[in-house]
Chains A and B, each alone.
Chain A
Amino acid sequence: MSHIDEAPQSTGAAAPPQGREKKLPARDRLTVILMVTIPLLLVLLLVWLPALLSVVLSFGKWNGFGDLDTIEWVGFQNYTDIATIYPPFWPAIQHNLIWLGFLFVFPTLLGILLAVILDREMRGSRIYQTAFYMPVVLSLALIGFIWQLFYSRDQGLINQVFGTQVDWYGDPDINLWAVLVATAWRHTGYIMLIYLAGLKGVDASLREAAAVDGASEVRTFFNVIFPVMRPINMIVIVIVVIESLRAFDLVWVVNKGRNGLELIGALVAQNVIGEATRYGFGSALAVIMMLISSVFITVYLRNVFREERRG
């Protein structure tokens, strides 16, 4: 990237003069202005304004009845309540972190492995691809329902087949893992497809060169292919982080995010979307979630920019 940028500058004299004189024609300028302002306004209106309002609401107590002047401002009470007397909160934080760790360690690595294997174009790889990708097409609500048939304590397939009486969805020590397995079923296919697309884009001459140099397949992957795949690796990391933060659907289908399946997203929904209308309290939870995700976003962006400067 930077090579191309630098190239014309090195020719110095030939470059057009910088500054005031370099004006775009009126029409182009208008286009640029529109192209910048319209998305900017949309982002402000649809992302930042609601986010800001959530922050404002999180300092109030409001059940949604009546006008905005019925909001009772309570300062940081919602936050202190969440941290001190709201039992589901700390488990939720913990579960979101477990979710993140689990997604990285198992389904993501498995997805990458599957992609690498499928990339070797063995016979029937299309069929495998379709099979692995199928769960991604299904909605998580449906996946929750499908797994319910496996996990039900009294009537589920697993307990029937093995003659066990494990309370897969009801025992808070087990249900998170049961749900994570169901999530992994879908997540693996998702990562596999993204990674496979990335692998297809790797220049074949790199592999040939490595082969000529006598590198083993494994070595070629780790020393040549994996570094070249950096953009895809970044995307995968971002996807995993996002998926684990917005994890919600499956636990909601299982038991509305209670009893061992608390996740921050589900707590926000319990307080705001359902009939319980604790808008202030729910907003405070949402703000906490936003803060946590912004930590990841900051780390990610810093990493990207640093790489770009270096690159």
Chain B
Amino acid sequence: MSRSSSSAIPRSALVTMEASRRSVLRGMALSGLAVGGASMLAACGGGDSGPATGSGATVKFGINEAEGSGAAYDRLKAIADAYTKESDTEVALNAVDHNTFQESINTYLQGTPDDVFTWFAGFRMSQFADNGLITDLSDQWPIDGLGDSFKQAATASDGKQYFVPISYYPWAVFYRKSVWEKNGWTPPETNDDFTALMDDMQGKGVTPFAFGDKDGWPAMGTFDILNMRLNGFDFHMSLMAGDEAWDGDEVKLVFDTWRKLLPYHQADPLGRTWQEAATSMGKGECGMYLLGTFVVDALGENGEDLDFFTFPQLDSSIAADSLDAPIDGFCVAAAGKNQEAGKAMAKWLGSAAAADAGNNGADAPFIAANEGASTSTYSDLQKKSAEVVGAAANIAQFMDRDTNADFANTVMIPSIQEFLKNPDDIDGVTASIQEQAASIFG
């Protein structure tokens, strides 16, 4: 529940665990504050004078983690402290609960926002750029250690950069090493291997795929990967941008393939949270689970017995080199008071030093975007994540970051759930999505 607000995508922040139960309760209590969120966010206002950067200057830093919310907060706090030490600029931290932050982001940016704030790459960032709510950071790029794919993810529709990445987490198919060794299973190379593997699992009384979609968003990951494998990355992105028909043959093919895969999935996904599904895989009742690396959160262990592979190729003409790997990072608010300090800090936030400060400041490290960052604290899982994402030719950000949030939340979540309830009515579902997409995208 803690990050389940349809849109509250699992954050890289939590790539490695912090115990789930406690944070679930806390998240629930805090999300109750959502309505009052806008004013809370705007509470830190007030003009200031003095130098823009350096000694005596203050930069306001809005973060989407409430104080004491675990590793995610600790990291951001450590990063803020490190910046003060490094540049002598005082960082005024404005810590807000994750869901509250996301739900009030519009009001926040149009009110009196902090100078620098935590945000996500992709369409959701680009939308702010189009509306003049965030500051052009193209004069801060390139940033040492951040490659082209990250620069691409930081670029808005006008071709300029508005974002600085710090970390990411891939979506892949996770499994328990011990369970697979015992059964002699190996990651599939081809679609035939894949089918054979799933059949073997079923033969041994193991449900191949764990599956839970009570919160609505996890199944989006399945749609994303199937669409990328069957129709290619470019089609996926233009579909997300509202430039392709949702009732076309391509989308129908995705749903049809999914329909054939559903018997290999856990039954009744709509009543199961992703944490419960993860537990089923953890217990060995299910063979694998397509999810982000945050899957370890729900297992309550350090993930040493966990491994993953990227979803296999389905169409021989389309390489299996695209995946969802949402990137987290920072933007500078256009309405922020101290633009110069904000930009300077944003640039530093993209550095290896910032990532190291964050990872040294918390028990659970994230996967740093900057290739110069130290990986000494990484688990095998994280090292492999970095490798896989590094090797990917195309990186998507996950459906509700790649498309209009209105569309993702109010149309796609109910529609995918409708499909899962009634997988045979693909024409009906796609027609309904298209009608609503036409109305929203105009």
A-to-B contact residues, CB < 8 Å: 61, 63-66, 77, 81, 85-88, 139, 141, 145, 152-155, 165, 167-172, 175, 253, 255-256, 258-259, 270-271, 273-278, 281
Tell me if A275 and B409 are in contact (CB < 8 A).
Answer: yes
Task: For the complex, give the distance between the alpha carbons of A281 and B105 in Å.
Answer: 19
Give the chain B neighbours of A278 by CB distance below 8 A. 406, 410, 440
A63-B269 contact in complex given A259-B417, A274-B103, A275-B103, C-beta closer than 8 Å? no
User: How many Cβ-Cβ contacts under 8 Å join chain A to chain B?
Assistant: 114
Q: Residues of B contacting A64 with CB < 8 Å?
A: 106-107, 110
Say what secondary structure dominates the interface of chain B: helix
Cα–Cα, bound, A232→B405 (Å): 46
Binding stretch for chain A, among B88-96, B153-161, B272-280: B272-280
Q: How far is the CB of A107 from chain B (nearest CB, A)?
A: 24
Is B432 an interface residue when CB atoms closer than 8 A count as contact? yes
Provide the B253-296 mask, 1 if CB < 8 A to any CB of A, else 0.
00000000000000011111000100110000000000000000
* CB–CB B436/A66 < 8 A: no
> Are A141 and B28 closer than 8 Å at their CB atoms?
yes
Contact A274 B409, beta carbon cutoff 8 Å: yes
| Residues of chain A lying within 8 A (CB to CB) of residue B417 | 258-259
A259, B6: Cβ atoms closer than 8 Å: no
The distance in angstroms between the C-alpha atoms of A288 and B280, with both chains bound, is 42
Q: Taking the nearest CB of chain B, how far is it from the CB of A137, in angstroms? A: 16
Beta-carbon nearest neighbor of B420 in chain A: A259
B contacts, CB < 8 Å to A: 5-7, 25, 28-29, 32, 34-35, 102-103, 105-107, 110, 127, 131, 133, 214-216, 268-272, 276, 279-280, 405-410, 413-415, 417-418, 421, 432, 435-436, 439-440, 442
Which residues of chain B come closer than 8 Å to A81, judged between CB atoms? 436, 439
Q: A28–B414 Cα gap in the complex (Å)?
A: 59
- A87–B408 Cα distance when bound, in Å, is 15
Residues on the B chain within 8 Å of A167, using CB: 268, 270-271
Determine the residue in chain A with the shortest Cβ distance to B415.
Answer: A87
Q: Give complex CA distance A169, B440 in Å.
A: 30
- CB <8 Å contact, A259 and B28: no
- Tell whether, in the assembled complex, residue A77 and residue B133 are in contact, meaning their CB atoms are under 8 Å apart: no
Q: How far is the CA of A186 from the CA of B149 in the complex (A)?
A: 53
Given contacts A154-B276, A167-B270, contact A65 B409 (CB under 8 A): no
Q: Which 8 residue pairs across A and B have the least CB separation, nearest first?
A: A170-B271, A170-B270, A276-B409, A167-B268, A167-B271, A65-B131, A275-B7, A85-B435
Q: Which of A87, A141, A171 has the most CB of B within 10 A?
A: A87
Contact check, A172 vs B421: say whether CB atoms are below 8 A apart. Answer: yes
B residues within 8 A CB of A86? 436
State how many angstroms separate the Cβ of B291 from the closest Cβ of chain A: 16
Q: What are 25 A-B contacts with C-beta separation under 8 Å?
A: A61-B442, A63-B106, A64-B107, A65-B110, A65-B127, A66-B131, A77-B439, A81-B439, A87-B432, A141-B32, A145-B25, A153-B272, A167-B270, A170-B272, A175-B271, A255-B215, A256-B6, A271-B410, A274-B6, A275-B405, A275-B409, A276-B7, A276-B406, A276-B409, A277-B405
**Nearest A-chain residue to B429, judged by Cβ:** A87
Contact yes or no, B440 A87, CB < 8 A: no
User: Which residues on A sit within 8 Å (CB–CB) of B436?
Assistant: 81, 85-86
Q: Determine the chain B residues whose CB is within 8 A of the CB of A139 once the complex forms.
A: 32
CB distance from B117 to the nearest CB of A (A): 15
Contact partner, B406, options A63, A155, A172, A256, Cβ 8 Å: A63
Please give, as numbers and ranges, the residues of chain B lying within 8 Å of A145 by CB-CB distance: 25, 28
Task: Give Cα A273 to B289, complex, Å.
Answer: 31
Query: How far is A170 from B272 in the complex, measured between Cα atoms in Å?
Result: 7
Q: Report the Cα distance A274→B442, complex, angstroms.
A: 21
Instruction: Name the residue among B35, B106, B131, B271 with the largest chain A CB count within 10 angstroms.
Output: B271
- Contact (Cβ within 8 A) A270 B410: yes
Closest-CB distance, A260 to chain B (whole angstroms): 8
Residues on B with C-beta less than 8 A from A77 are: 439
Given contacts A81-B439, A168-B271, contact A273 B216 (CB under 8 A): no
Partner of A65, one of B133, B414, B421, B440: B133
User: Does A65 lie within 8 Å of B272, measured CB to CB?
Assistant: no
Contact indicator A274/B7 (Cβ below 8 Å): yes
Report yes or no: A277 in contact with B106, Cβ–Cβ below 8 A: yes
A141 to B27, CA, bound (A): 11
Taking the closest CB of chain A, its distance from the CB of B26, in whole angstroms, is: 12
The distance in angstroms between the C-alpha atoms of A87 and B106, with both chains bound, is 27
Kindly report which residue of chain B lies nearest to residue A277, judged by CB atoms. Answer: B106
User: CA of A51 to CA of B62 in the docked complex: distance in angstroms?
Assistant: 33
B167 → chain A, closest Cβ, in Å?
21
Residue in B103, B268, B408 whose CB lies within 8 Å of A171: B268
Could you tell me if B409 and A255 are in contact, using CB atoms closer than 8 angstroms? no
Chain A residue at smallest Cβ distance from B7: A275
Chain A residue nearest to B37 in the complex (CB): A273
* Bound form: Cα–Cα A200–B270 in Å: 47
Q: Are B410 and A259 in contact (CB under 8 A)?
A: no
Q: Tell me the minimal C-beta distance from B410 to chain A in angstroms.
A: 5
**Are A253 and B28 in touch, CB under 8 angstroms?**
yes
Contact residues in B for A152 (Cβ distance below 8 Å):
271-272, 276
Bound Cα distance A256, B34 (Å): 14
- Output the least CB separation between A264 and chain B (Å): 14
CB distance from B432 to the nearest CB of A (A): 6
Chain B residues, Cβ within 8 Å of A255: 214-216, 270
Which residues of B have CB within 8 Å of A165?
A: 268
Within the assembled complex, what's the spacing in Å between the Cα atoms of A249 and B256? 36
Beyond A81-B439, A87-B414, A88-B414, whether A154 also contacts B279 by CB under 8 A is yes
CA of A278 to CA of B405, assembled, Å: 9
Closest to A172 in B: B421
B124 to chain A, nearest CB (A): 9
- CB nearest to B107 among chain A residues: A64
Q: How far is the CA of A242 from the CA of B110 in the complex (A)?
A: 35
Contacting pair A256 B28 (CB below 8 A): no
Q: Contact at A65–B106, with CB atoms within 8 Å? A: yes
